[in-house]
């Protein structure tokens, strides 16, 4: 039985019964029938409902934010901001979906030839716990506006959020069964992917989970989009404005209690500013307060579970054993809940978990580089390629590094990496493939259809 456990104190919030195979088959059958009707609905009618969803989110903002905080420990202010962002993506696609999917006329020797965008059918979304509303809405808003239907398999520890999201669409007036949540363990996903009514799969999660889903979907020739892990490098050049760079770096490392694929994880600092950057960075990390995530006076809540916290601590300990220096944090508090303090490791080098692995928590790795060239080499020396950032007063130089030299799907200059409905989001290498958001994202689960008339 899936359970939601409050990571702040270890208390049980709720337990849930899983759907049986028969239940899931019935849900998929009903969803497929509804999707066939949905594709005949005009864009203006879809937009009304999607705008309604934004209104529902804003109306119930505090309720949904509290649910997220209780289930996975997100600071309450960040949880409210997440609800607002979900409302934004709903309104964005309500406004732009029709123009994004307008047919493109192509001149050929035909009397008429064009590219049309038609929905694939039911998209299965396998989603993680760290942004339990946002990860879902950034898939669901474009998918539903495009004429697809959605089936959500959420992480088991945020089942309450999963059911709440289904209810958002119900409250907004969407047709019954167009978007459904299924409660089932990860080991049962192969059978769901195999179901003939599932036409495509999107997954946000770990590299092993992504590879498993991609292998199963690929064997059935079903389209996938994967947004996987990251070990985002932040390059601090010698001319960086540290008054702006240090707060941006700290905020990025601690966002969502450090549990974000696009959080800054490796801080690669050229030697000329290494000492000053490190001193400022450690001091600001030390000032961040850890405590009850429902209390807005605290900056950092618990890790999402004890097992994840223990895995994080093991990465820290193995890095120290390999030669890293722990200059802040690095200990497990003797208190109930899944707590881990802001931690800073220096003297981090290749071969340590803090360099090579995704460190999913409030642990920063500071890495020394002789110069710009070495900093770029170290940034790219990773199996991941989701986000990256470079800090420099020379914006032209920063733009060149971001566009041409950093190996990542999202590269920022003088700003921490973040997602935005207006911009495509996704990675390369073991951070996955495909794109979400923008017009790129809404076209991922479409039949890009050539129509030729002689």
Per-residue pLDDT of 102-132, as tens digits, reads 999 999 999 999 999 999 999 999 999 999 9
Q: Cα 86 from chain centroid?
A: 13
pLDDT tens track for 239-254:
999 999 999 999 999 9
Q: Which of 227, 357, 430, 444 is catalytic?
A: 227
Q: In 43-158, which ranges are continuous DSSP H helix?
A: 43-59, 61-72, 76-100, 134-145
CATH architecture of 3-228+431-453: 3-Layer(aba) Sandwich (3.40)
pLDDT tens track for 380-431:
999 999 999 999 999 999 999 999 999 999 999 999 999 999 999 999 999 9
Say yes or no to pLDDT of 444 above 90.
Answer: yes
Percentage with pLDDT > 90 across the chain:
100
Q: Cα 156 from chain centroid?
A: 17
Assess whether 161 carries a catalytic annotation.
no
Task: Look over the chain and give the mean of its residue pLDDT values, rounded to a whole number.
Answer: 98
Confidence of residue 148 (pLDDT cuts 50, 70, 90): very high
Mean per-residue pLDDT, 372-383: 98
Q: Which of 249, 261, 410, 411 is catalytic?
A: 261
436 and 108 Cβ atoms separated by less than 8 Å: no
**What is residue 420's predicted lDDT score, i.e. its pLDDT?**
98
**What is residue 50's predicted lDDT score, i.e. its pLDDT?**
99
Answer positive or negative: Cα dihedral of 250, 251, 257, 258: negative
The contacts of residue 151 (CB under 8 Å, 6+ apart) are 27, 28, 31, 122, 123, 124, 125, 179, 180, 181, 182, 192, 198
**What is residue 1's predicted lDDT score, i.e. its pLDDT?**
80
Measured distance CA(255)–CA(69) in Å, rounded: 14
Measured distance CA(65)–CA(62) in Å, rounded: 5
What is the phi/psi pair of residue 79, to 5°?
-65, -40
**What is residue 232's predicted lDDT score, i.e. its pLDDT?**
97
Is the fold of 3-228+431-453 the same as that of 232-420?
no
Say yes or no to pLDDT of 318 above 90.
Answer: yes
437 and 410 Cβ atoms separated by less than 8 Å: no
**What is residue 389's predicted lDDT score, i.e. its pLDDT?**
98
**Buried b or exposed e, range 198-228, using 16+ CB within 10 angstroms:** bbbbbbbbebebbebbbebbeeeebbbbbbb
Mean per-residue pLDDT, 287-309: 97
Assess whether 407 carries a catalytic annotation.
no
Percentage with pLDDT > 70 across the chain:
100
CATH architecture of 232-420: 3-Layer(aba) Sandwich (3.40)
pLDDT tens track for 164-199:
999 999 999 999 999 999 999 999 999 999 999 999
Q: Where are the domains of the chain?
A: 3-228+431-453, 232-420
**What is residue 104's predicted lDDT score, i.e. its pLDDT?**
97
């Amino acid at each position: 039985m899936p359970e939601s456990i409050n990571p702040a104190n270890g208390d049980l919030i709720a337990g849930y019964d899983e759907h049986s195979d028969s239940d899931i088959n019935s849900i998929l059958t009903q969803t497929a029938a509804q999707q066939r009707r949905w594709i005949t609905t005009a864009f203006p009618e879809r937009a009304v409902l999607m705008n309604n969803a934004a209104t529902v989110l804003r109306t119930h903002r505090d309720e949904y934010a509290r649910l997220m905080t209780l289930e996975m420990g997100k600071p309450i202010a960040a949880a409210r901001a997440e609800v607002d962002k979900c409302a934004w993506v709903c309104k964005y696609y309500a406004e732009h979906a029709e123009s994004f999917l307008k047919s493109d006329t192509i001149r050929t020797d035909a009397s008429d030839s064009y590219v049309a965008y038609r929905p694939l059918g039911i998209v299965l979304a396998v989603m993680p716990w760290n942004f339990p509303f946002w990860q879902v809405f950034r898939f669901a808003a474009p998918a539903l506006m495009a004429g697809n239907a959605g089936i959500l398999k959420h992480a088991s520890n945020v089942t309450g959020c999963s059911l709440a999201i289904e209810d958002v669409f119900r409250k907004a007036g969407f047709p019954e069964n167009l978007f459904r949540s299924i409660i089932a363990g990860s080991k049962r996903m192969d059978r769901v992917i195999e179901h003939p009514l599932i036409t495509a799969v999107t997954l946000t999660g770990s590299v092993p989970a992504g590879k498993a889903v991609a292998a199963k979907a690929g064997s059935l020739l079903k389209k996938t989009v994967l947004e996987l892990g990251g070990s985002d490098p932040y390059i601090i050049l010698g001319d960086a404005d540290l008054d702006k760079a240090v707060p941006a770096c700290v905020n990025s490392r601690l966002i969502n209690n450090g549990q974000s694929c696009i959080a800054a994880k490796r801080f690669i600092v050229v030697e000329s500013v290494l000492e000053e950057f490190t001193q400022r960075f450690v001091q600001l990390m030390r000032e961040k307060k850890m405590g009850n995530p429902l209390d807005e006076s605290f900056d950092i809540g618990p890790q999402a579970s004890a097992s994840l916290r223990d895995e994080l601590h093991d990465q820290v300990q193995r890095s120290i054993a390999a030669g890293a220096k722990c200059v802040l944090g690095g200990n497990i508090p003797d208190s109930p809940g899944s707590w881990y303090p802001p931690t800073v490791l220096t003297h981090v080098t290749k071969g340590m978990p803090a360099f090579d692995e995704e460190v999913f928590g409030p642990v920063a790795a500071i890495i020394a580089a002789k110069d710009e060239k070495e900093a770029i080499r170290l940034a790219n020396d990773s199996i991941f390629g989701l986000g990256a950032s470079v800090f420099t007063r020379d914006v032209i130089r920063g733009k060149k590094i971001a566009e041409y030299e950093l190996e990542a799907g999202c590269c920022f200059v003088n700003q921490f990496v973040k997602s935005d409905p207006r911009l495509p989001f996704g990675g390369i290498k073991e951070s996955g493939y495909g794109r979400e958001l923008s017009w790129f994202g809404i076209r991922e689960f479409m039949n890009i259809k050539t129509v030729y008339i002689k």
